[in-house]
Amino acid sequence: MGNADYVYPSTNVEGESPHRVAIPPPQPFVKTLKNSLKETFFPDDPLRQFKNQPASRKLVLGLQYFFPIFEWGPRYTLDFLKSDLISGITIASLAIPQGISYAKLANLPPILGLYSSFIPPLVYAMMGSSRDLAVGTVAVASLLTASMLGAEVNAMENPTLYLHLAFTATLFAGVFQASLGFLRLGFIVDFLSHATIVGFMAGAATVVCLQQLKGILGLNHFTHETDVVSVLRSVFSQTHEWRWESGVLGCLFLFFLLVTKYFSKKKPKFFWISAMAPLTSVILGSVLVYLTHAEKHGVEVIGKLKKGLNPMSFGDLVFVSPYLSTAFKTGVITGVIALAEGIAVGRSFSMFKNYHIDGNKEMIAIGMMNIAGSCTSCYLTTGPFSKSAVNYNAGCKTAMSNVVMAIAVMFTLLFLTPLFHYTPLVVLSAIIIAAMLGLIDYEAAIHLWKVDKFDFVVCMSAYIGVVFVSVEIGLVLAVAISVIRVLLFVARPRTFVQGNLPNSMVYRNVEQYTNAINVPGILILEIDAPIYFANINYLRERITRWINDEEDRIKSTGESSLQYVILDMTAVGNIDTSGISMFEEVKKLVDRRGLQLVLANPGSEVMKKMNKSELIEKIGQEWIYLTVAEAVAACNFMLHSSKPNPSKDQEPAAWNNV
């Protein structure tokens, strides 16, 4: 597209542009602050349903908001009950063996796994907004609990204090989770990016699997460290204590669990086979140990489980130094991980069924069930993917499936706990390994590598940190790298040179559109981010370099000299006072070089602040245009009129046919 292809603009009666970039009308400070707070904390406008409603209706809506059971309960039907009954019994068959296994992983009494599958699901059924989330204990939170509390208190030497600290950590986790929901601070959890979660979960799963070698090999003494080097050293330094009976039994049950999982994955309608496999393993293992007296030949068993429902534990909470800080730190970190997993799982299944779940309401529900759990001998719970997937595949309709599961667990606590006396620990280890292998999502890591190398680095940082250092360090490392990336997005925004697409009035990035043509005498730059104090130095230097590069290119090609610098402000959503100062410096820079600064499509916030700072007068209202096309047309008109720097009374006309 050469100069002959340009259509020169016409001038209206007054000789001015028919369209100007509008300066938004001034707003009272209180109204502006109110709108900013609303956009920050209430983007979903949860109070909209309360508008123009009578007081009685507002009370009902308020109850339904915090207790969704009052919304779906009145519409509950017998058909729903049939579906939820099947789902609840199915997930109970998975929750019972998994609960016992994960409690052992957290170095807690096995009975706590059953306690934690009784009270929290009842609370969530009343307050949760997901129809598919199945509540229970999770392996990663159990591992974190064992790692962080174990660093302060030895569970073997002081089991009572360790147990009470677990309850206290659960209380802090619940308070933290509920607070995030009430204060509308759910965006904090967003700092755990998808890449971070993939790497962290895979690393934690690897560590958990390696730690289960203690149960598989029948070892009595094992390291309390979680890194792979310490675990493998502990395993191979005790080769003389490996028990072949335990190893054979563990491998057989692990093979059985993996085969059933593979079969159910290939034949989704037989999902119940993999769901029932853990409980089947527990039953078969218990019968086998009982008949062969394997406990006398090196196969460890659970032993006696206390009958009865959850005892109250409110009086067991620990609020004294030096343990308070440990419980608080453990609660906050495990609480964030539990929230991230629970909300991600809930949203995943809600998309399949085309309904919406409120992230902040989920935080409140998960937090309240953990607060209630901490007072009733439970440790941290959330919505694990494995259990929720079984719940979804079983055809659940509402959160009532959690109530059915809780009733099944209650029945187990009251009458069936003696049956678990002969359950071999090696079976629990096999159940954990089978569940954890599903968390090592190598396909997601490969996808990250293909799509975004930096996300892959974040993922692998989390994985390597967890596996080779510790669970906490891996998490902190991944979050730190994610935050650094966010800061880089802000501090190093992208800038592009734009060119004209042939036979059009469209201007785009010349790197993306290789057929885009530079406009002679005009440099068009696109700024692709808000302008804040964190990026003004970079932008000033980058704009200067773009101008230098363009002038060097013009000298080498012999084209007409550079006269205008157009900044496309379309993507600049906001600007602060430091950004205003940067524009004043850029204006002086281009003036010293005999160039003219032109702005295209600045947004309302940018125009408002430019007007208040009198930057518009310094640049000139006549050099601010609605579109890049208008700005180019006006500049090109001035170039061909030999008026590169007109005064305000010689204002260029805008392009009418944009």
Query: pLDDT tens, 590-617?
Result: 999 999 999 999 998 899 999 999 999 9
Tell me: the pLDDT tens digits for 99-136? 888 998 899 999 999 999 999 999 999 999 899 999 99
**176 or 209: whose pLDDT is higher?**
176
In this prediction, residue 656 carries a pLDDT of 36
Beta carbons within 10 angstroms of residue 511's beta carbon: 10
Q: Is the pLDDT of residue 207 over 90?
A: no
Cis preceding linkage at 322, omega within 30: yes
Q: Is the pLDDT of residue 307 over 50?
A: yes
Angle at 329 (CA atoms; ends 324, 334), nearest 5 degrees: 130
Q: Is the pLDDT of residue 33 over 90?
A: no
In this prediction, residue 55 carries a pLDDT of 84
In this prediction, residue 483 carries a pLDDT of 84
Q: Virtual CA dihedral for 198, 200, 201, 206, nearest 10 degrees?
A: 120
Mean pLDDT, the chain, whole residue set = 86
For residues 326-347, give the mean pLDDT: 89
Q: Is the pLDDT of residue 10 over 50?
A: no
d(CA 54, CA 69): 22
Beta-carbon contacts of 473 under 8 Å, excluding residues fewer than 6 positions away, are: 465, 466
d(CA 472, CA 557): 57
d(CA 369, CA 363): 10
In this prediction, residue 497 carries a pLDDT of 93
In this prediction, residue 3 carries a pLDDT of 39
Task: Report the phi/psi class of residue 508: left, alpha or beta, with left for phi > 0 and alpha for psi in -120 to 50.
Answer: beta
> In the chain, pLDDT over 90 holds for what percent of residues?
38
For residues 77-88, give the mean pLDDT: 90
pLDDT confidence band for 649 (50 / 70 / 90): very low
Question: Lowest-confidence range among 35-49, 167-181, 242-256, 529-543?
Answer: 35-49
Among 568, 585, 651, 573, which residue's Cα sits nearest to residue 609?
Answer: 573
Tell me: the pLDDT tens digits for 488-525? 888 888 899 999 999 899 999 999 999 999 889 999 99
Q: Is the pLDDT of residue 4 over 70?
A: no
Q: Is the pLDDT of residue 380 over 50?
A: yes
Tell me: the pLDDT tens digits for 549-580? 999 988 888 887 899 999 999 999 899 999 99
Token pair of 354, please? Answer: 């085309």
**53 or 260: whose pLDDT is higher?**
260
In this prediction, residue 647 carries a pLDDT of 43
**379 or 188: whose pLDDT is higher?**
379
